[in-house]
Structure 1
């Protein structure tokens, strides 16, 4: 099973993981790129949507809300993002601001209404994870504070030469140890020619894949452990999108590495 996709930069919306993709149960994903005053509009039905502003500025409005000139990052390595949560049965329109705006559009199935929410950078929660050469910075954007149906979203910054370790999975509903949450990763590298590697594997060996990952790559994680490492001299940005019916941030580390 191939679990690696690539985003090829283009104007407008580029769909990367479609609703029809049988590898994922809940998640759809794509990148929206708009020049100044260009627009994109969508009527959401049985889905919830999160807009993560990767870089640039835009305005987002709907029938009863408007957020003007949001976004302040020059790139994904330049601080916390602005984001917008949109519940099901919502119309929204995005208008590009000065220059070019790039937005990750994250979707999951939903039948629960709610409130549109603007998540400003000061509402993004930062946590330092790991130690030694598996330290990284995690930024929680859509978590239990947001009344979403399925989505749980954040960003991770992985320093030069470091790992996301120990390997963990979230395949089974076994609270409080683990929750069944599928996931995707979207990568950016600094510099852009940088690279890393990701291994995706299950206990029973039904999945055992290793990929070289680079700028604008996407990996699909329907199940299994999924550690990442970045090469020395490079920095890795990971946008992670999780979705599951129980919507809990619970994972089980690979017991073979419990000493780490």
Structure 2
């Protein structure tokens, strides 16, 4: 079922994009996500407009041409198989993406003011973090995190949650500007799941009202290609059913003068963090690590 904030696979696609979420379609001001599918030999040209973007291979490799620069992206076979390299492209540019063998590519975007240089970032430069312990263990690929990649507004990370685990827990929010304590950020979740013997995976996503904003309230069964929009509210947990690893791509941006990810934990559940040192990290993690720098 489609709701205002849970968008099942296929409900937002336009043209070559299987997902197309813009500030206009989301009803907010900053964050965007497109998922581009190209056939072998495929080519796509787009104008960045007033936004900065990251071209992130989900499956397959591609070449990105922008500002007289050419950036070949090795990519990966899938989101559960390895860290990927990527390209940052600035606002007010024309970008050409081509793929010899075809593939699926995320375009994560945020409206911005500064025009920064286009660049290629190798997979070896992506910090892989293990967050939480026990059944809250998950892996975070911090490719576009604040403090990792120089962007004007955009923040983007990948999270992998082993089957049966909970992530985005304790529930947290970032819907108020509280200097040094909490950021105001719109957020997009894009999901994929590892199948088991050909059976597709699934998970569940919760967002509950925080008393700020419009009062976002979501309890959704999520599957491959689904999107959840979070303009405000406590978000979490994100639950992976047993037997199926869950992947989600987070895209964030907001109006605060500082580009930072500052969160407030739900007061009813914040205590869970104190139990983490008593438990080991899930031994299935990391699923993979970034390659060593050459």
Judge same fold: TM > 0.5, yes or no: yes
CA displacement, residues 145-174 of structure 1 (integer Å, 9 cap, x when unaligned): 333121100100001111111111111111
- Name whichever of 211-220 and 59-68 sits farther off: 59-68
1:91 maps to 94
Match 1:73 to one of 73, 76, 94? 76
Aligned pairs for 1:2-81 within 5 A: 2-8=4-10, 12-68=16-72, 70-81=73-84
The corresponding residue for 2:224 is 215
Please say if residues 55 and 102 of structure 1, whose CA atoms lie closer than 8 Å, have aligned partners that are also in contact: yes
8 Å CA contact 2:192, 2:247 repeated in 1: yes
The answer to whether the aligner puts 1:199 opposite 2:211 as a matched pair is no
Q: Which residue of 2 aligns with 1:142?
A: 144
Aligned to 1:110: 112
- Structure 2 counterpart SS, 1:122: helix
1:26-61 per-position Cα deviation (integer Å, ceiling 9, x unaligned) = 112111111222210112221111111101111111
| Length, aligned pairs only | 258
Three-state SS of the structure 2 residue aligned to 1:115 is: coil
8 Å CA contact 2:51–2:112 kept in 1: the answer is yes
Aligned partner of 1:101 among 86, 99, 103? 103
| Backbone CA RMSD of aligned residues | 1.8
Work out which of the residue numbers 189, 194, 219 in structure 2 matches 1:190: 194
The one of 77, 81, 85 equivalent to 1:82 is 85
Unaligned runs of 5+ in 2: 273-294
1:178 correspondence with 2:182: yes
Listed one character per residue, the Cα deviations across residues 86-113 of structure 1 (whole Å, up to 9, x for unaligned) are 1111221011122x21101112112211
* Deviation by residue 1:164-200 (Cα, 9 ceiling, x = unmatched): 1111111111132211111000000111621111110
Determine the structure 2 residue equivalent to 1:250: 262
Shift of 1:258: 2.1
Q: Which moved more, 1:196-205 or 1:53-62?
A: 196-205
- How far is 1:23 from its partner? 2.9
TM-score of the two chains, using structure 2 as the length reference: 0.83
Residue 57 of structure 1 aligns to a residue in which SS? strand
- The superposition leaves residues 102-132 of structure 1 with CA deviations (integer Å, 9 ceiling, x where unpaired) of 1011121122111112122111111111111
C-alpha distance in 2 between matches for 1:11 and 1:26? 22
